[in-house]
Each structure stands twice: as C-alpha cells, then as structure tokens.
Amino acid sequence: MRKLFACVVAAVMATTAVPSQAETPRDTLVMAWTFDDIITLDPAEIFEFSAAEFAGNTYDRLIAYDLEDVSKIYGEAAESWTVSDDGKTFTFKMREGVVFPSGNPMTAEDAAFSLQRAVILDKSPAFILTQFGFTADNVRDKIKAVDDTTLVIETDQAYATTLVLYCLTSTVASIVDKKLVMEHEKDGDLGYNWLKTNYAGVGPFKFGQWRPNELLTLERNDGYWGGAPAMKRVVIRHIAEPATQQLLLEKGDIDIARNLGPDQLASLRDNPDITIDSNVKGTVYYLGLNQKNEILSKPKVRQALKYLVDYKGMEGTVVQDLMTVHQAFLPKGFLGALEATPFTLDVDRAKTLLAEAGYPDGFKITMDTRNTSPIMEMAQAIQATFAQAGIELEIIPGDGGQTLTKYRARNHDIYIGQWGPDYQDPHTNADTFARNPDNSDDAQSKPLAWRNAWDIPEMTKMADAAALERDSAKRAEMYLELQKVHQATSPFVIMFQQIEVAAVRADTKGFIIGPSFDDNLYAKVTKE
Amino acid sequence: MTTPADNLSTAGAGFKSLSLPSPLRTALNLVVSLLLTFLGLLFVTFIIGRVVPIDPVLAIVGDRAPGHVVERVREELGLNRPLYEQFAIYVWDVLQGDLGTSVLTANPVIEDIKRVFPATLELATVATLFGVLLGVPMGVLAGVYAGRWPDQAIRVIGLLGYSIPVFWLGLMGLLLFYARLDWVPGPGRLDFFYDGLVEPVTGVLLIDSAMAGEWDVFWNAASHIVLPAAILGYFSLAYISRMTRSFMLEQLSQEYITTARVKGVKEWRVIWVHALGNVWVPLVTVIALSYANLLEGSVLTEIVFAWPGLGFYLTQSLLNADMNAVLGATMVVGAVFIGINLLSDLLYKLLDPRAR
C-alpha cells in the first residue's frame, strides 16, 4: 500500500518539474542520507556503512589505496614502508609534521596505540587485525613504535603482503590521538566510552556533532597535512523517506541525495540541474540455500535454481541503476575477480535438472526476505520465475533484525541477502563464502558457508592457501579457480553487484563515490 | 498501546472512588496506583521485547562479529540471566533513576528522550490546537445543519481525514506547499543554519527561541511546524468534528434547548453557549485521548517530514530490540497517558458543575 502511494507521488513529481529557488551556502555541503545505522563513532568499533563513511572522511590510516586503481597502495599517515624477506615484519616510516586537531603531534606511538587498542578492545571488526595472530596479550610486542617515526608490525605467518596492507587500510586501523583518548580513559576502557560519541583523529574533516537519526556535521580541518578541503562544513541530514530527499534536492535545499530509488532516479534523469553519479561497489546480492534442507542439499536442485533467476530482466527493472549482474563471490575490482556470468534464465534446463533431482513437478519452499526496497521487489521477481518451473516460493517478510536472527541460527530455507567486503583484499569474501572450518552448530566461526550449513573441507584448504600466497599473479589464479568451483557447485545463487548512486546538484562537483563504503569522500567537493 | 489507557482507567477509578478523601490518602492512593500501572506496563513491554524473534546483540555487534564477541556482549547486556532476574535488575536501576543506555544511539536513554520527546510534544500540541480550533466549530455546524449540505461537506472532509494515509498526504502537502507554492520551508524542525543558535532548555523550539528572544529562530521553527502539524491535526480534526457533531445532536434534542428557544434566546446563543457549553464536558475526554495518541509519536509523519520525534525513536528501537530505549520510551508514553487523563479529570470537574 505504502509502495503504491510512493509510486503515485513519484509519478506526480516526475510529470511536473519543481521550480528551484533555495540555495545552500557556498562553503557548506548539505546532504540527505539515511544514517540510522550509526551506533558508534569509535573506529575500533565502527562496522556499519554510514559510520565507516564518517571515519573515511575524518580519520587517516597508515596507508590507503588509489580509488581509481585499488591495486596501487600509497602512504597516508605513513610516508613509506618495507616488508622483510620472510614476509612477517612490516616497518612503517611515519609522515613527519602531522598534527592532530587537538594540537598533539602524530607519532608512531599513536599508530601503535591505535592498532593495539583495536585488538585489546576486541569489538566486532577487531578480527580484521587479529587474524594476523595479534591477541590482547601479545599485541604490545607485535605492534610497536621503536621511535617517534618508526612503527613495526610482526605477523604470526607470512601472509600475502597485500592482504596485510589492505587490512591496514580499513576503518578499524584508523589512527587515533593517543594523548587525547587517554585523557578520557575510565576504568581501563582505553577511552572507549568517550570515543563512542566523540572524535580523536586527523583527516581532511573533523567531527562536528552527531544527533542520532537527525544530524551529523563535519568541520574542515584547516591544518590538514594534505591540504584543507574547499568546504568549510558538511551538514548531513537524516532523511529516511526517499521521496522527501528528492523534493529537497529538486528544491535546492540539499546538494546531494543519497538514497533514491529507481523511480526517483528515472524522474531526475532529464533534470538539467541534477547529475547522477554512480560507481560499482563491492557488495554482492545472493540467495543462500540452507543445506540443512533436504531438497536444497541436492546439487541438481542448487544448479536448477541458478537457472531460475531472471538476471537480465531484473537488471532492467526492479534493480535498474542500483545493481549490475555478477555471479561470483569476488566483486569486480578485486584481485582475481571472476567476471564470467554463465547463468541466465533457462526454465527448460532448470526443469530437466529438477526432474533429474526427483522433483519433476517442483516443490514448496520459503524465503526469508527483508521488507525493504529493493530486496522485496527482487524476491517477488524471483518468486515469479521459480513458479515457471513449478517451484512455489513463499516469501516470509520480516524486519532486518528478524530475518538476520533467523538466518544466523540456520533456521531458514532460502535467505535473500547481501554481503559487502570488510576490506579490499579477496580473502575477505573467500573467508565467508568459501571457508567453513567447522560446520557444527556451536562453531566459533560462523561465515556465510556455515550459515547455509555447507560443509567444505577441501575448499576451506584452498581458501587458506590463497591467503598465504605471496606471488600476486599466482594468487589471482588461485582465486579464479576457487570461484569457478564455487560458482558451479555452491548453495549461493550470486546475482548482482551493487552500484551506489547519488543524485547531485549540477553546481556541486567532486563528490567521490569510491569502490568501498568507507571511501565515499567529501574532501574534493567544490561548489560553483 | 492500549495498555496504558486500560491501566489508566483503573488508576483513575481508584483515585475517584474514595468517598471522603483526605489529601494525604488521595495522594497515597494515586502514587500506589501509578506505581502499579508503571510496573505492569514495564512488565508487559519487557516480556514482549524479550519474546520477539530479534537478537538484541545483533544491533550492537552487527552481522559479522566473531562468536566470542557475540557471547561477550550477550553477557555484558545480562541476556544470559533468567528473565525475571533481568527484569528485576532493570526495575532496580529505574528506581534509582537510571534508564540505561540505548545501544542504537550510544546515549543514555534519558538523554535521547529529552531530545526526541519535546519534538513530538511540540508537533502534537500544535496539531491538537489545529484539530480543536477547526474541528469543534465544524462539528457544531454539522450538528446544527444535520443532514443538509454543510453537514455533508464536513462529513466528506472528515472521511478523507480518516481514510487517506498520512504518508501520502504528507508527501502531497510537501509537493504542493513546499516544492510548488513555496509557502512553507522543507522538512525538518529548522533550516539548518538556524540549528544550534538556541540553547535547548525545554527542547520545544517555539518556547526556547521565544524565551531567548531569538525571533528569527522562532518564526523559522513556526514555519517548519505548520505543515506537519496541519496534516497530523487533520486526523484529530476528523475525529473531533465527528464526535462534536454527535454530542451536539444529543444536546440539541434536549428539552432545555427548546425551553431556551421558547424563551426567545437568540439562536447563536442557544447553539454556541447553551448546547456547546454542555458538549465540552464529554468533548474534553475525546480531545485528551486524541492528544495522547499524537504524543505517542506519529512514525509516518515523522519520517516524511524528517521530524526527529518519539515515534521514529520507539520504532527503530523496537525493530532492533534495543530494550532500554523501548522501555524508557514506553514509560514516557505511559506517563503521558496518565498525565493527560488526570488533567482531563481535573478539567471535567471545572467544566461540569455537577462534578464540583
């Protein structure tokens, strides 16, 4: 019902252009965005899209990657680095003369403290660092500042160099102002309770204020070593309703609208005052087929379902502008990503496969579906194509928390979901789609392969070996091989890769949508 | 949310049933019934919150945290304890004035409520004013002209108010009055460059800005509230005008009205003083209920108008099983229901000579 009305509103708005009069201040970037997922501002804990973007604009890390070509890694807070011959010791030379907004100079000790702190606090994203053998007990020896400008990191094994480096580009490796954080330490919490809602970093912008579900502001860091941004302030308003975002944008009360749907984007395309920016993101959309379900555990059924999704049809309709067809677990842009798309909607082939599996007349099955757009529309499209082969798909709608709780408990038949990489290295997705070290119900590690009860000792070994391969070309080969097997046999129907879209007023230039959610950057924004 | 109202009538009945109340006994009776109401309210909300199939840990650690982190947070939240123990701990903390911390906003729940409730209070109050100022006269006219065209016209207006989804009406309102006609500013409580100019005292922007003498801010806030309040007020208008009409019809058929007319009292006086005077008594209850409903927060209006109020806060918290926030907000809603009910009881006594 609500959807219907939204369509009517969009249609009315499309047919009549909004006269624009309002204008935002020239030194302020005003953006509408839904950021209700922010639950913390502490980079040691941040693991949500919006907060990661906040940290990407306000916290430097030791190193960063080129957004145009992610294989190029360059120094940010570190000027240069070397890797020992055995591949286990990384030595970083810090950039000199960098000063935190608090006035404290940045040293190697700040970098060491930040990484140690993330490991010791051991919040959700800490595994990105602890996977290299750091623990609360050993991290002060394994990551340390030998002098003001030299930081040494020792891993427990010789991992692929880029794996370690990419992990150091992620939010959890952001550098915090040790002195400032420790001034706010309480009961040995390493300043955690303070930093949750405060700021202690250095970046092109610094934190202004955050009112949950209402407002987030950033202020220019005039003393930034890389040059201060053109915008003095960034004002981000939480606007949950896409139609409202569209109105604000057309009216000129905001410069950027971040959460528009296909209908709205279509109606803005011909507007000369608006440009549509987009870039391919790392998030992939997939169906997870629970192997605890007897029907879904049959290889031929899994195969058949892969032929029962109208990839191209959906790309042109329900997910238009928002997704592109992609069928392997490594997103385009990652080392070794498999770009082949062997599956298309082929009902006859699917029917043959189903008959061979013993289900010539199809079967009944449920799918847990988040009741948000475009997941719901995708589910309905899939329901229609499944039906063509006699499969009766019952969509069980639910809120995000509800469907996820069920999925994590392996109580689903089919789950429609998405997965975004945690860092820019292929291991992040191999780790979850193609590794399942322990398939028992009380396993410590519960990757996506576990959630779908897919027991794969062989593939787990392949994925582990790829993480340790130090020759990049060879490593890319290994991932290609892994994806080919995965694509053909896995209980994952990988369908699409996300495209992030922002509608921007024509006089606002330089907003960057990067490949990962933490590199949507405001530093280069200018207004004419 | 019928619980507060249900509990309330019991509380109210206990309060009124004392035949010869000494002020002390009345107060004591009130306090006891309030406490019981709150305890019952908390208990029900707590149980509902714990049986919904959403893992509260998820909201904190996200989807990807390793197993040991999930377990640790579960313990930190006390979720590994038996339910009754969790409830007892919560109540004990509340009695000491600690509503806990919201996991979604990282703020103490009390701080969150101080931020979101005034926004809702402001919107609901202006909306109710709108509903009363238009709804009562409309209801009176409909009653007086029952069956004729003004009645039909008002019936249609009311019916639309009942049946059009507020979500759609809000967007259409924005499209027309903000985007096309430019009569009102866009969504939100203030233009952002006015934001932060006034130190929050009550949190109600209209009051805070007036007290600070910041009239620019006041007018900006007023222009922002007009549209959402009018749209929200449309619903109470629909309800209030219907109820006023039926109360009026009842009064107008009474003998005292005929007597007044026979005695030559002017018709406007018969309607607006004699009849309406008696209608106010039941009408106060109607208005109070409608006001209390708006004070719960109207999620859809808040979403469309980017109004950071209680409704959105409560819904978000509920969907993420952020129980401290849910319980805290529920208590506020409960307190509002009780407060408004007491207030309408009081008004009742003022308006109805028999109750004095």
Sign of the C-alpha dihedral computed for residues A307, A312, A318 and A320 taken in this order: positive
CB B308, CB A211: distance < 8 Å: yes
Nearest-by-Cβ selection for B179 from A39, A122, A251 = A251
Please, how many CA atoms are within 13 Å of residue A190, restricted to the half-sphere of its CB? 20
User: For residue A128, what pLDDT band results from cuts at 50, 70 and 90?
Assistant: very high
Number of neighbours of residue A444 by Cβ within 10 angstroms: 12
Q: Which residue has the higher pLDDT, B136 or B162?
A: B136
Cβ–Cβ contact A404 with B under 8 A: yes
pLDDT at B18 over 80: no
Question: What own/partner pairs with CB < 8 Å and gap ≥ 24 does B190-195 have?
Answer: B190/B217, B190/B220, B190/B221, B190/B224, B191/B220, B191/B224, B192/A30, B192/A215, B192/A235, B192/A237, B193/A25, B194/B220, B194/B221, B195/A215
Cβ–Cβ contact A4 with B under 8 A: no
Question: Which residues in chain B are contacts of A288 at CB distance < 8 A?
Answer: none
Q: Give the burial class of A388: count Cβ atoms within 10 A of its Cβ; 0-12 exposed, 13-18 middle, 19 or more buried.
A: middle
Cβ–Cβ contact B342 with A under 8 A: no
CB B99, CB B110: distance < 8 Å: yes
Please, how many CA atoms are within 13 Å of residue B247, restricted to the half-sphere of its CB? 27
pLDDT at B6 over 50: no
Please, how many CA atoms are within 13 Å of residue A199, restricted to the half-sphere of its CB? 25
Residue A320: partners with Cβ closer than 8 Å, 6 or more residues away = A262, A266
Q: Which residue has the higher pLDDT, B339 or A499?
A: A499
Cβ–Cβ contact A250 with B under 8 A: yes
Question: Which residues in chain B are contacts of A237 at CB distance < 8 A?
Answer: 188, 192, 306
Number of neighbours of residue B267 by Cβ within 10 angstroms: 10
pLDDT given for residue B97 in this prediction:
82
Chain B residue whose CA is closest to A234: B192
Please give the share of chain A, as a percent, with pLDDT higher than 90: 83
Residue B77: partners with Cβ closer than 8 Å, 6 or more residues away = B56, B57, B60
Chain B residue whose CA is closest to A421: B64
pLDDT given for residue A389 in this prediction:
95
- Residues of A numbered 445-484 whose beta carbons fall under 8 angstroms of chain B's beta carbons: which are they? 445-446
Q: Are strands A492-505 and A508-509 parallel, antiparallel or unpaired?
A: unpaired
Question: What own/partner pairs with CB < 8 Å and gap ≥ 24 does A508-515 have?
Answer: A508/A29, A508/A255, A508/A256, A510/A230, A511/A29, A511/A256, A511/A277, A512/A67, A513/A277, A513/A278, A513/A279, A514/A56, A514/A67, A514/A279, A515/A67, A515/A70, A515/A279, A515/A280, A515/A281, A515/A282, A515/A333, A515/A424
Phi, psi of A237 (to 5 degrees): -105, 135
Nearest-by-Cβ selection for B58 from A21, A251, A401 = A401
Phi, psi of A318 (to 5 degrees): -65, -25
CA gap A339, A347 in Å, rounded: 23
The token pair at B313 is 């806060």
C-alpha distance from residue A250 to each of A188, A409, A425, B353 (Å): 50, 44, 39, 57
User: For residue A22, what pLDDT band results from cuts at 50, 70 and 90?
Assistant: low
Residue B151: partners with Cβ closer than 8 Å, 6 or more residues away = B141, B142, B143, B145, B245
Per DSSP, which regions of A318-409 are E strands? 323-325, 364-370, 392-398
pLDDT given for residue A212 in this prediction:
87
pLDDT in tens, B318-346: 888 888 898 888 888 888 888 888 888 88
How high is the mean pLDDT of chain B? 84
Nearest Cα to Cα of residue A29 among A237, A329, A309: A237
pLDDT given for residue A11 in this prediction:
54
Q: Which residue has the higher pLDDT, A23 or B127?
A: B127
pLDDT at A369 over 70: yes
How high is the mean pLDDT of chain A? 92
Question: Which residues in chain A are contacts of B312 at CB distance < 8 A?
Answer: 213, 240
Residue range A46-62: mean pLDDT, rounded: 94
pLDDT in tens, A150-181: 999 999 999 999 999 999 999 999 999 999 99
User: For residue B5, what pLDDT band results from cuts at 50, 70 and 90?
Assistant: very low
- Residues of B numbered 284-323 whose beta carbons fall under 8 angstroms of chain A's beta carbons: which are they? 303-306, 308, 312-313, 316, 319-321
Cβ–Cβ contact B107 with A under 8 A: yes
pLDDT at A28 over 90: yes
Nearest-by-Cβ selection for B312 from A25, A122, A213 = A213
pLDDT in tens, A469-498: 999 999 999 999 999 999 999 999 999 999
Q: What is the 3-state secondary structure (H, E, C) of A271-327?
A: CCCEEEEEEEEEEEEEEEECCCCCCCCCHHHHHHHHCCCCHHHHHCCCCCCCEEECC
Number of neighbours of residue A307 by Cβ within 10 angstroms: 22
CA gap A163, A65 in Å, rounded: 13
pLDDT given for residue B21 in this prediction:
57
Among A68-82, B164-178, B189-203, B243-257, the minimum mean pLDDT is found in: B189-203
Residue range A432-439: mean pLDDT, rounded: 94
pLDDT at B3 over 50: no
Question: Which residues in chain A are contacts of B175 at CB distance < 8 A?
Answer: 9, 12-13, 247
pLDDT in tens, A455-472: 999 999 999 999 999 999
Question: Which residues in chain A are contacts of B77 at CB distance < 8 A?
Answer: none
Number of neighbours of residue A25 by Cβ within 10 angstroms: 14
CA gap B43, B314 in Å, rounded: 17
Number of neighbours of residue A222 by Cβ within 10 angstroms: 10
CB A190, CB A120: distance < 8 Å: yes
CA gap B212, B215 in Å, rounded: 8
Put residue B58 in one of left, alpha, beta given phi > 0 → left and psi -120 to 50 → alpha.
alpha
CA gap A18, B181 in Å, rounded: 10
Taking an 8 Å cut-off on Cβ atoms, the answer to whether B180 and A16 are in contact is yes
> Rg of chain B's alpha carbons, rounded to an integer?
24
How many angstroms away from the CA of A394 is the closest CA of chain B? 19
CA gap A244, A260 in Å, rounded: 10
CB B338, CB B122: distance < 8 Å: no
Q: Which residue has the higher pLDDT, B158 or A105?
A: A105
Cβ–Cβ contact B51 with A under 8 A: no
pLDDT at A12 over 70: no
Question: Which residues in chain B are contacts of A268 at CB distance < 8 A?
Answer: none
Number of neighbours of residue A442 by Cβ within 10 angstroms: 7
Question: Which residues in chain A are contacts of B72 at CB distance < 8 A?
Answer: 122
Nearest-by-Cβ selection for B182 from A21, A36, A41 = A21
Taking an 8 Å cut-off on Cβ atoms, the answer to whether B107 and A197 are in contact is yes
Nearest Cα to Cα of residue A410 among A371, A447, A364: A447
pLDDT given for residue B48 in this prediction:
80
User: For residue B74, what pLDDT band results from cuts at 50, 70 and 90?
Assistant: confident
How many angstroms away from the CA of A327 is the closest CA of chain B? 22
CB B312, CB B113: distance < 8 Å: no
Taking an 8 Å cut-off on Cβ atoms, the answer to whether A401 and B62 are in contact is no
- Which ipTM was obtained for this model? 0.81
Put residue A427 in one of left, alpha, beta given phi > 0 → left and psi -120 to 50 → alpha.
alpha
H or E stretch at A83: strand A78-83
Cβ–Cβ contact A53 with B under 8 A: no
Cβ–Cβ contact B187 with A under 8 A: yes
Interface test with B, best of A4, A35, A124, A171 (most B CBs within 10 A): A124
CA gap A143, A510 in Å, rounded: 37
pLDDT given for residue B19 in this prediction:
53
pLDDT at B280 over 50: yes
How does DSSP classify residue A91?
E
pLDDT given for residue B10 in this prediction:
42
pLDDT at A62 over 90: yes
Nearest Cα to Cα of residue A32 among A244, A182, A220, A345: A244
H or E stretch at B99: none
Nearest-by-Cβ selection for B186 from A16, A248, A406 = A248
Taking an 8 Å cut-off on Cβ atoms, the answer to whether A2 and B165 are in contact is yes
- Residues of A numbered 209-248 whose beta carbons fall under 8 angstroms of chain B's beta carbons: which are they? 209, 211-215, 235, 237-241, 243-244, 247-248
The token pair at A8 is 């009517």
Chain A residue whose CA is closest to B320: A401
The model's pTM is 0.86
Nearest Cα to Cα of residue A264 among A397, A374, A378, A382: A374
Taking an 8 Å cut-off on Cβ atoms, the answer to whether B193 and A1 are in contact is no
User: For residue A140, what pLDDT band results from cuts at 50, 70 and 90?
Assistant: very high
Helix (H, G, I), strand (E, B) or coil at B200: coil
Residue range B278-295: mean pLDDT, rounded: 87
The token pair at B350 is 């003022």
Helix (H, G, I), strand (E, B) or coil at A203: coil
Q: Are strands A89-94 and A150-154 parallel, antiparallel or unpaired?
A: antiparallel
The token pair at A413 is 């038949």
The token pair at A86 is 């055995």
H or E stretch at A245: helix A242-251
Taking an 8 Å cut-off on Cβ atoms, the answer to whether A405 and B54 are in contact is yes
How does DSSP classify residue A38?
-
CA gap A322, A370 in Å, rounded: 17
pLDDT given for residue B12 in this prediction:
41
Taking an 8 Å cut-off on Cβ atoms, the answer to whether A401 and B54 are in contact is yes
User: For residue A300, what pLDDT band results from cuts at 50, 70 and 90?
Assistant: very high
Chain A residue whose CA is closest to B321: A401
Helix (H, G, I), strand (E, B) or coil at A437: coil
The token pair at A481 is 């091989």
Among A183-187, A276-280, B264-268, the minimum mean pLDDT is found in: B264-268
Number of neighbours of residue A238 by Cβ within 10 angstroms: 21
Residue range A114-124: mean pLDDT, rounded: 95
Among A22-31, A104-113, A257-266, B230-239, the minimum mean pLDDT is found in: A22-31
Taking an 8 Å cut-off on Cβ atoms, the answer to whether B179 and A404 are in contact is no
Cβ–Cβ contact A121 with B under 8 A: no
DSSP for B54-98 reads: --HHHHHH-S---HHHHHHHHHHTTTTS-HHHHHHHHHHHHHTT-
Nearest-by-Cβ selection for A47 from B64, B188, B321 = B64
> Rg of chain A's alpha carbons, rounded to an integer?
24
Taking an 8 Å cut-off on Cβ atoms, the answer to whether B303 and A443 are in contact is no
Chain B residue whose CA is closest to A212: B105
CB A92, CB A153: distance < 8 Å: yes
How does DSSP classify residue B166?
H
pLDDT at A185 over 90: yes
Taking an 8 Å cut-off on Cβ atoms, the answer to whether B306 and A127 are in contact is no
Interface test with A, best of B73, B76, B163, B168 (most A CBs within 10 A): B168
How many angstroms away from the CA of A355 is the closest CA of chain B? 37
Number of neighbours of residue B73 by Cβ within 10 angstroms: 20
